[in-house]
Amino acid sequence: MDGKPTANDLSEIVAADKAHVWHHLFQHKVLEENDPRIIVEGRGMRVWDQNGTEYLDAVSGAVWTVNVGYGRRRIVDAVAEQLMKLNYFAAVNGSIPGAEFAEMLIEKMPGMSRVYYANSGSEANEKAFKMVRQIAHKKYGGKKYKILYRDRDYHGGTIGTMAAGGQIERNMQFGPFPDGFVKVPHCMEYRKDELGLGHLSGRDFGVAAANLIEEVILREGPDTVGALCLEPVTAGGGVITPPEGYWERVQEICRKYDILLHIDEVVCGVGRTGTHWFGYQHYGIKPDFVTMAKGVASGYAAISVCVTTEEVFEMFKSDATDKLDYFRDISTFGGCTAGPTAAIENMKIIEEEGLLENCTAMGARLQGNLRALMEKHQVIGDVRGLGLFVGAELVRDRETREPVSEAEIAQVVAACAAEGVIIGASNRSVPDRNNCLCFAPALIVTEAEIDEITAAVDKALGKVFG
């Protein structure tokens, strides 16, 4: 398995792609003059395109997914064996891998007890939203139906999850959205002036940022608010790590007003933040819902889950004679056995190879390297992150914190690719705030590879900003 893959002539594939494939998040005009990039093969941390060009992948499949790296024979074999035995049966019934993975997962999530299978991050979030709405009807006469979401957070691309979308640019031209979703302010310390909290720092800032959520609850009426949905670390909105004291206060506020806490771990879940399996576990929170998708099976199969507590689950089975008294929802492909089979192997790999620890150590090195680059490159205004989920915010001026343009950010990403390293960036999400480079290499990344990533960034910044 060592060495480059052998070159093949993929011109027909390129032609078929250009003629018929509609790429995600992509303005196709450029393909009238250029070829699309087709990723053909991956091994470990590296991928190859149709021309045989090799890239070090610093964003795990571009969107923080392939946590255990490419070419894991063990996952492929387990999935192949399971598919021959039973590929699918609707999850109205049980399956062997479904039961096994649910047990493994719950062992890692003290306080949680039930796993609901679906197949995308958006879908898992929709499941939680539907549960919240049904609870509002069952327990509160339909009144406690509002779902709070945070500025700059993202929960998916369906109309329902976009209604809970804090990235305004993503939502443009897709409205109107359903009612009952209410925005709360973000908690980004680097941009605390925007929140009117410029005078505060550290814990004082964290508590005050959480109190802004309480203000919204009081304005809306606590008896109308059913849930608060937050990312543990905001991902595409600019890698926003929560300030000290924030989560404790958020939890207190939820308890005070009987509001269910929904943590969207679609990006952070299953190892990405290091040390713990989940982002929320860094902050001692007890959520009511945890949704996850990307890293659950590292993209070897499509799977997402909405995990909840026994207390929530119990609310859906009190009266068997009431035909509405259960969660009336199905996800056809939530019954695919490939997902949980791949997820089991994925979790075992993380455990057996000590990848939570590697994630923490390599994340610290990545942040350290990027901070060191701040001396040379004034354009790096802030470096933040948790584990192997790291962002570098680029600004024109460190004093004013004026962001660089999205076009400049795109040039840095392109310059890194020219150096053979694929990095990510916030894009078309928050107006005038799409100025963050994103790094989320697989949890298997080595010191040498981290250094290779930051060396490419160093060169790219030199090229774009001088």
Ligand X SMILES: Cc1ncc(COP(=O)(O)O)c(C=O)c1O
- Binding interface with ligand X (CB under 6 A): 63, 120-122, 125, 154-157, 231, 235-236, 264, 266-267, 293
Nearer to ligand X among residue 296 and residue 457 (C-beta): 296
Name the residue nearer to ligand X (CB basis): 302 or 464: 302
- β-sheet bridge partners, residue 54: 48
Query: Least distance to ligand X from the beta carbon of 386, Å?
Result: 14
Q: Judged by CB, which is closer to ligand X: 205, or 280? A: 280
Question: Cβ(235)–Cβ(110) under 8 Å?
Answer: no
Of 207 and 422, the one with the shorter C-beta distance to ligand X is: 422
- H-run or E-run covering 6: none
Minimum distance from residue 154 beta carbon to ligand X (Å): 5
Closest CB to ligand X among residues 151, 231: 231
How far is C-alpha 209 from the geometric centre of its chain's CA atoms?
22
DSSP 34-77: SPPP-EEEEEBTEEEETT--EEEETTIIIII--TT-B--HHHHH
Closest distance between ligand X and the C-beta of residue 168, in Å?
16
Specify the pairing of strand 54-57 against strand 421-422: parallel
> 317-327 b/e with 16+ CB inside 10 Å = b?
eeeeeeeeeeb
Which residues, 6 or more positions from 330, have their beta carbon under 8 angstroms from its beta carbon? 90, 91, 92
| Closer residue to ligand X (CB): 366 or 440 | 440
Residue 161 Cβ vs ligand X, minimum distance, rounded to whole Å: 7
Q: How far is the first Cα of the chain from the last one, in angstroms, to the nearest whole number?
A: 40
For ligand X, the closer CB: 44 or 274: 274
Nearer to ligand X, 25 or 80 (CB): 25
Beta carbons of 464 and 90 less than 8 angstroms apart: no
Closest alpha carbon to 183 in 205, 165, 158: 165
Q: In terms of CB distance, is 297 or 464 closer to ligand X?
A: 297
Least separation in angstroms between CB 123 and ligand X: 6
Residue 462 corresponds to which tokens in the numbers above?
């030199």
64: left (phi over 0), alpha (psi -120 to 50) or beta: left
DSSP state of 265: -
Which letter does DSSP use for residue 298 in this model?
T
Least Cβ distance, residue 446 to ligand X (angstroms): 26
Cβ-Cβ contacts under 8 Å for 433 (sequence gap 6 or more): 152, 191, 238, 403, 426
> Residues in the chain, how many?
466
In whole angstroms, the minimum distance from the beta carbon of 270 to ligand X comes to: 13
Spatial separation of the C-alpha atoms in residues 222 and 199, rounded to whole Å = 29
Cβ distance to ligand X smaller for residue 264 or 449: 264
Which residues are registered as beta bridge partners of 147? 181, 227
In the complex with ligand X, the residue whose CB is nearer, 299 or 363, is 299
If you ran DSSP here, which 8-state letter would residue 383 be given? E
CB of 158 to ligand X, least distance (A): 7
| Closest distance to ligand X from the beta carbon of 15 (Å) | 28
Query: Minimal distance in Å, beta carbon 422 to ligand X?
Result: 16
Determine the Cα–Cα distance for residues 48 and 4; give it in Å rounded to an integer: 8
Q: 289-292 and 181-184 as β-strands: parallel, antiparallel, unpaired?
A: unpaired
Give me the least distance between CB of 75 and ligand X, in Å please: 19
The residue nearest ligand X at its CB is 121
